[in-house]
Amino acid sequence: MSESPVAAPLRLGPVELRNRVVAAPMERNYCRPDGAPTDHYVRRIAAVAEGGTALVYAEASFVRADGKARPRQLAADEDSAIPGLRRLADAAHEAGALFGMQLVHGGRLAKATISGYTPVAPSPVIATVVDGDLPLELDHDDIADLVVRFAEAARRSADAGADVISLHAAHGYLLSQFLSPRTNRRADSYGDPARFLGEVIAAVREAVPELALGIRVSAYEGLPDGLRIEDTVDILDRAGVSELDFIDVSAGCYEAGQWITPPGELPRGLHAEAAARFRVLGPPVGVAGRIVDGETANKILSRGQADFVTVGRALHADPAWTRKVLDGTRPRPCISCNYCTDRLRTGEPVGCAVWPEAAGSLPAVPTPAKRPDVLVVGAGPAGIEAALTAARNGHRTRLVERRPVLGGAFGLAARLAEYPEYHRILDWQATQLAEAKVTVELDTELSPADIAGQPEDIVVLATGTARSVPDLPGALSARVHDLLAWLADGLDRELEDDYVVWGADRDGTAVADHLAAAGAAVTLIGTEPEPAHDVGARAKILPLARLATNPRVRLVLNAVVTAIEPGLIHVRDAAGERTVLRASGPVLVSVNAADAVNPVTGVRAAAPGKTVVAVGDAAGQGGWSALAIRHAAETMHRFAGGTIA
């Protein structure tokens, strides 16, 4: 048994946590449209509980139908929700964990297109950040009804077997809308930010006196006119939070989402100091935010900044995170890329950039057995996942990569300032490959004819997409490079005074941001109205703000490059207007220049006796590592199951 601070039990009112790790409430589109959890949801809760976590929350669950903010959000608004909630509670309990329900009303963040109702809020302030509707100002009768609805949802949760209730007063939902002067502009008694929260606390406590009751709060909103820590502490004090069993500290609001799900460039455990400021209120304090490893968790606990750690994405990336932290072994690392956060808006089950099963279970594999040897060509995310899955399924596996390093897209991204956490997945993958006894051969390029001569019968092509610079005047000049090819060693060269990045997609934007932050003048040219158009809002929140405010950055959007000359770039905008820009440095190209040739055809022709498949980007199944690794893992399971012969 580990002696680390994280291993110590903790009492929260009527319940005892077996250790200090709490699985954060996380919406993941794991429900049906009627708000009932799917089987996958039940499995995910069970896996986190089996992984040693002390208390497992479901997600922000709506207490009244007009508070539903997402199509597949967990319902707690009707008694018909109880059987579904009970399945989640049972899954947690069977593995020795406590089960927590987080209660929410979306307020102005809810939408008529989702809930069927005009949203309500303390004041009619539109949430433009989510393209929100003009909310109706709540009257006193409706406020009284909401207080009752919170209490009823708590009672339902208790009937379903929940041990803990957390009131969601963080991140800009209804309870926090009452707390903040940005969204509560009322002149009546509910203009007192403590009043509504105080009434909800009292009603819920009365409804479920036997449960542990706490609150989740944003320590600060992260906006110039938003709540600061001292404001929040004062309001909570006046709302009666000292009587609660815990305070779970997060930060931010939708307009400052980098504090809710901090990207990897923000420090690990970044809200710990803020959390410590809430100790003065009395109840045990928890804290969330980039607690991705045991060291960070233990440091926060041993410094006394918090009593428990609330872990979100690290448990999404590896449900056994807690057990591994307690054992001192390495969890599969979350790289804080926020792919999961941005996937929420798609309505699809939320996957993960590093774990293929987050979006759904993989096909079952018959008992591991000795299986035919496998050659995987290409050691990017899909190739590594294919090799690991094959080796674990009993294939003797060889992984061959033409570059001198593992990692492909992850390896390239790890070179950029925006992605300082990506090296963690590269390190982890290298260890896993060694443990799984995969033979790795770097600096080895295999042509189709070479592949024909290899001993393995099964060939998995994970060679990504071939890209080429588009055909236009000047494109063949020495200053023009494919952006990804350049990234392999371009950053090792001396920084030039200026660069042109043509193609403001995710990769182009990240490279432009990196070069501009390093001190170069950068012209970023893209066909869309916004940089990183292929990325969700949360993943680009910091780079976009930097690019917009850096005077050395020239953004040329809604435009295409028509010709490249020495010292000049010819550009045409959407209206057909032509401009000539001065720029003499390298031109890095990241436009949709993917080569559509399927690599399988050539290898099959050269090696007719072999079974050849492509995975990830090479099979047109990528673009995102989450999709590429899932495709790779699924394909290898189908091999093991005999459905690809």
Q: Whose Cβ is closer to ligand SF4: residue 591's or residue 629's?
A: 629
Q: How wide is the angle at C-alpha 197 spanned by C-alphas 221 and 213, nearest 5°?
A: 100
Q: How far is the CB of 293 from ligand SF4 (least distance, A)?
A: 13
Q: Whose Cβ is closer to ligand FMN: residue 344's or residue 612's?
A: 344
* Site for ligand FMN contains 85 (CB under 6 A): no
Residue 609 in contact with residue 337, Cβ under 8 Å? no
Residue 144 in contact with residue 152, Cβ under 8 Å? no
What string marks each residue from 98 to 127 as x (binds ligand FMN by CB under 6 A) or -?
----x-------------------------
Pick from ligand SF4, ligand FMN, none: which does 337 bind, CB < 5 to 8 A by kind?
ligand SF4
* Site for ligand FMN contains 216 (CB under 6 A): yes
Q: How far is the CB of 251 from ligand FMN (least distance, A)?
A: 9
10 Å CB burial of residue 361 (0-12, 13-18, 19+) is exposed
Residue 223's SS3 state is: coil
Give how many residues touch ligand FMN by CB under 6 A: 28
| Chain residues that interact with ligand SF4, rule: CB under 6 A | 313, 316-317, 334-340, 352-354
Q: How wide is the angle at C-alpha 624 spanned by C-alphas 641 and 476, nearest 5°?
A: 120
Distance CA 201, CA 169 (A): 11
Pick from ligand SF4, ligand FMN, none: which does 60 bind, CB < 5 to 8 A by kind?
ligand FMN
Distance CA 628, CA 623 (A): 7
Report the DSSP beta bridge partners of residue 459: 375, 612
Which of 125, 249, 276, 340 touches ligand FMN by CB under 6 A? 340
Task: Summarize the chain as % helix, strand, coil (round to 5).
Answer: 40, 20, 45
Dihedral pair phi/psi, residue 644, rounded to 5°: -120, 120
Q: State the DSSP H helix or E strand holding residue 556, giving kind and residue range, or none if neither.
A: strand 553-556
Question: What is the distance in angstroms between the CA of the first residue and the CA of the last residue of the chain?
Answer: 46
Q: Whose Cβ is closer to ligand FMN: residue 31's or residue 629's?
A: 31
Q: Cα dihedral sign for 344, 348, 354, 357?
A: positive
Q: How far is the CB of 104 from ligand FMN (least distance, A)?
A: 7
Residues 2-21 that bind ligand FMN (CB under 6 A): none
* Residue with the two structure tokens 């279970």: 361
**Directed axis angle between helix 195-207 and helix 229-239, to 10°?**
50
- Locate 204 and state its tokens: 């819920």
Q: How far is the CB of 340 from ligand FMN (least distance, A)?
A: 4
* Site for ligand FMN contains 288 (CB under 6 A): yes
Distance CA 193, CA 234 (A): 10
Residues 168-197 that bind ligand FMN (CB under 6 A): 168, 170-171
Q: What one-letter code names the amino acid at 319? A: P
Distance CA 70, CA 463 (A): 37
The closest residue (CB) to ligand FMN is: 312
Q: Whose Cβ is closer to ligand FMN: residue 248's or residue 456's?
A: 248
* Rg over CA atoms, the chain: 26
Pick from ligand FMN, ligand SF4, none: which does 24 bind, CB < 5 to 8 A by kind?
ligand FMN
Q: How far is the CB of 435 from ligand SF4 (least distance, A)?
A: 20
| Options 30, 41, 57, 173, the catalytic residue | 173
Q: Exposed e or buried b for every residue in 423-436, given b needs 16+ CB within 10 A?
A: bbbbebbbebbeee
- Catalytic annotation present for 173: yes
Cα 25 from chain centre: 13
Q: Whose Cβ is closer to ligand SF4: residue 317's or residue 591's?
A: 317
* Site for ligand FMN contains 66 (CB under 6 A): no
- Locate 548 and state its tokens: 């917009």
Q: Whose Cβ is closer to ligand SF4: residue 94's or residue 348's?
A: 348
* Site for ligand FMN contains 344 (CB under 6 A): yes
Q: Whose Cβ is closer to ligand SF4: residue 46's or residue 352's?
A: 352
Which of 6, 24, 359, 374 touches ligand FMN by CB under 6 A? 24
Which of 290, 392, 395, 554 touches ligand FMN by CB under 6 A? 290
* Site for ligand FMN contains 313 (CB under 6 A): yes
* Site for ligand FMN contains 291 (CB under 6 A): yes
Residue 219: CA count within 13 A, CB half-sphere: 23
Q: How far is the CB of 583 from ligand SF4 (least distance, A)?
A: 34
- Locate 197 and state its tokens: 């929260």
Q: How far is the CB of 253 from ligand SF4 (least distance, A)?
A: 19
Which of 4, 6, 19, 27 touches ligand FMN by CB under 6 A? 27
Q: Catalytic residue positions?
A: 173
Residues lying near ligand FMN in the complex (CB under 6 A): 24-28, 59-60, 102, 168, 170-171, 216, 250, 260-262, 288-291, 311-314, 340-341, 344, 350
